[in-house]
């Protein structure tokens, strides 16, 4: 198990466009395992490789949704390699999103509420599925990372500035506490 450092905004690496994966091999599977460890430890429900500084089109997602309300989280790890969106609904949903690279900040983002996507899994097998609900939102959020886009880029300038101000303030407080 290895925890990788998560890079945070405004690190310019987060603005890079990630490259397609050419071979699904053991090196990639090692990266994926480390990404899961890092995401669970954070804790978070999704992580793109660029968030640990690797500009490859790889995402891991685990919504860890309990089987029943109030129950224990159940792990459901999902890997998306070279994901593509084939079709998006013209109906939208709004969800309060957060991001491990914009720590502890949340804001409402509107996205298509259903997407048909295609991707490879960690064995190199192709999947094509329609995703909705939180999984659909999470996939779209993580796929934005592959294009160098953060959820705050979807906000109005005013709201984005507010989020960044709050982030700066919470970092200052953390630094004070650590001093
Ligand atoms: Ni994110």
Q: What is the DSSP letter of 152?
A: G
The pLDDT of residue 138 is 98
In the block, tokens 């995402």 appear at: 59
What are the structure tokens assigned to 34, written together?
A: 């480390």
**Number of domains present in the structure of the chain:** 1
In a domain, 7, yes or no: no
The pLDDT of residue 67 is 83
In a domain, 118, yes or no: yes
Which residues lie closer than 8 Å to 88 by C-beta, 6 or more apart? 112, 114, 115, 116
In a domain, 4, yes or no: no
Q: How far is the CA of 128 from the centre of ligand 1 (A)?
A: 23
Q: Which domain holds residue 52?
A: 12-178
Tell me what percent of the residues of the chain surpass a pLDDT of 90.
Answer: 92
Q: How far is the CA of 97 from the centre of ligand 1 (A)?
A: 8
What are the structure tokens assigned to 16, written together?
A: 């890079």
Give the three-class secondary structure for 38. helix
- Stretches where the chain sits below pLDDT 50 are none
**pTM > 0.85: yes or no:** yes
Q: Residues 108, 142, 147, 173: which is the catalytic one?
A: 142
128 is catalytic: no
Q: How far is the CA of 141 from the centre of ligand 1 (A)?
A: 6
- What is the CATH number for 60? 3.90.45.10
Q: How does pLDDT run across 128-153, given as a tens digit for each residue?
A: 999 999 999 999 999 999 999 999 99
Q: How far is the CA of 34 from the centre of ligand 1 (A)?
A: 17
In a domain, 62, yes or no: yes
Partners of 116 in the beta sheet? 87, 130
In a domain, 150, yes or no: yes
């Amino acid at each position: 198990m290895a925890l990788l450092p998560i890079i945070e905004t405004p690190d310019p690496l987060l603005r890079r466009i990630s490259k397609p994966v050419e071979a699904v091999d053991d090196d990639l599977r090692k990266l994926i395992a480390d990404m899961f460890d890092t995401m669970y430890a954070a804790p978070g429900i999704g992580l793109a490789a660029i968030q640990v500084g690797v500009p490859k089109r790889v995402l891991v997602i685990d919504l860890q949704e309990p089987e029943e309300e109030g129950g224990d989280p159940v792990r459901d790890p999902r890997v998306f390699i070279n994901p593509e969106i084939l079709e998006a609904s013209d109906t939208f949903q709004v969800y309060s999103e957060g991001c491990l690279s914009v720590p502890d900040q949340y804001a409402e983002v509107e996205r298509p509420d259903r997407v048909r996507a295609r991707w490879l899994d960690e064995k190199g097998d192709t999947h094509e599925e329609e995703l909705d609900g939180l999984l659909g939102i999470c996939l779209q959020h993580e796929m934005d990372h592959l294009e160098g886009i953060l959820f705050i880029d979807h906000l109005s300038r005013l709201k984005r500035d507010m989020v960044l101000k709050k982030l700066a303030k919470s970092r200052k407080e953390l630094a004070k506490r650590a001093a």
